[in-house]
């Protein structure tokens, strides 16, 4: 069986878990939607984010928070497979090592995009509007896909190495926090200097600014190249480390 065929089979296996517990997708969407409602209807009037509907400014950061929240379930599923001996059993079979992990990674990509679609639907109800054309929307989808893949490969590492289920998913809290110290909710110019310097040079800001510009049909400038460098670099490093961790599973 080819690596692609093996990956397809394992992807189908993990997707069945999602189908049996669709509440995980809803759970991932609920917290970002709650943040969006809170910031738009409670804090929005006190935040000066420039002209236009605040939900338009807010949405890119909300989408990143949703992905950061969703990947914790990937770590949880891999941890369960490791604890139940499924990973060890697959080790003993003529199955490509990358196929085992890619099955989980692709499941994360699909399930997170379903959650993102739900969030965008709620944003539209709240007044979100975009003049972006098809190519811009495809570019947004590509950026979000790269973000999901990079974070999911990071999630694979604790999923394989953690000693408890809480440790396997706890790392995602740090990733959820990053959008709050970026330009996701307020312009960085309004921040104190030390915070502003960190916010302007951490990866989430360039990703948020790229998605925001694409949705607003504005030039993306250098932000897109910075975002791509962060995402591709982080994804490759995480992939290498995840494969090393997988080889060490007894």
pLDDT tens track, the chain, 250 positions: 577 777 787 778 878 877 776 667 777 888 899 999 998 888 766 676 666 788 999 999 999 999 998 888 888 888 888 888 777 777 667 677 678 888 889 999 999 999 999 999 999 999 999 888 899 999 999 999 999 999 999 999 998 888 887 777 777 778 888 999 998 898 888 889 999 999 999 999 999 999 999 999 888 889 999 999 999 999 999 999 999 988 887 6
In terms of residue numbers, what domain contains 32? 3-247
Minimal CA–CA distance to 61: which of 215, 239, 218?
A: 215
Predicted confidence at residue 194, as pLDDT, reads: 92
Q: Quick one: pLDDT at residue 1?
A: 55
- pLDDT at position 231 is 95
User: DSSP for 96-139?
Assistant: -HHHHHHHHHHHHHHHHHHHHHHHHHHHHHTT------HHHHHH
pLDDT of residue 113: 93
Residue 49 is predicted with a pLDDT of 67
Alpha helices in 84-96 (DSSP H): 86-91
Number of domains within the chain:
1
Q: What is the pLDDT of residue 77?
A: 85
Q: What is the pLDDT of residue 151?
A: 94
So what's the pLDDT on residue 143? 96
- Based on its alpha-carbon atoms, the radius of gyration of the chain, rounded to whole angstroms, reads 19
- pTM for the model stands at 0.90
pLDDT (0 to 100) of residue 74: 86
User: What is the predicted pLDDT for the residue at 58?
Assistant: 92
Query: Dihedral of CA 62/230/151/196: which sign?
Result: negative
> The dihedral of CA 206, 208, 213, 214: what is its sign?
positive
Question: Whole-angstrom Cα distance, residue 158 to residue 175?
Answer: 14
* Calpha distance 14→20 (Å, rounded): 10
């Amino acid at each position: 069986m080819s690596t692609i065929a093996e990956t397809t089979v394992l992807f189908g296996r993990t997707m069945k878990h999602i189908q049996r517990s669709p509440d995980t997708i809803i759970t991932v969407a609920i917290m970002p939607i709650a943040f969006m409602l809170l910031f738009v209807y409670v804090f929005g009037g006190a935040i000066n984010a420039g002209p236009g509907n605040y939900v338009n400014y807010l949405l890119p950061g909300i989408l990143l928070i949703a992905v950061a929240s969703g990947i914790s379930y990937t770590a949880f599923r891999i941890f369960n497979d490791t604890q139940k001996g499924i990973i060890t059993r697959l080790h003993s079979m003529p199955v490509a090592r990358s196929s085992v992990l890619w099955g989980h990674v692709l499941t994360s990509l699909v399930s997170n995009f379903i959650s993102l679609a739900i969030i965008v639907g709620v944003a539209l109800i709240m007044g979100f509007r975009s003049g972006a054309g098809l190519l811009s929307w495809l570019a947004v989808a590509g950026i979000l896909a790269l973000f999901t893949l990079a974070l999911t490969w990071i999630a694979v590492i604790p999923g394989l190495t953690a000693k408890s289920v809480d440790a396997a998913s706890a790392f995602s809290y740090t990733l959820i926090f990053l959008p709050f110290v970026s330009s996701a909710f307020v312009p960085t110019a309004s921040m104190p200097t030390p915070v502003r310097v960190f916010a302007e040079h951490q990866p989430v800001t360039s990703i948020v600014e790229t998605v925001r510009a694409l949705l607003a049909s504005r030039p993306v400038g250098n932000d897109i190249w910075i975002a791509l460098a962060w995402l591709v670099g982080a994804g490759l490093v995480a992939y290498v480390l995840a494969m090393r961790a997988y080889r060490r599973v007894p």
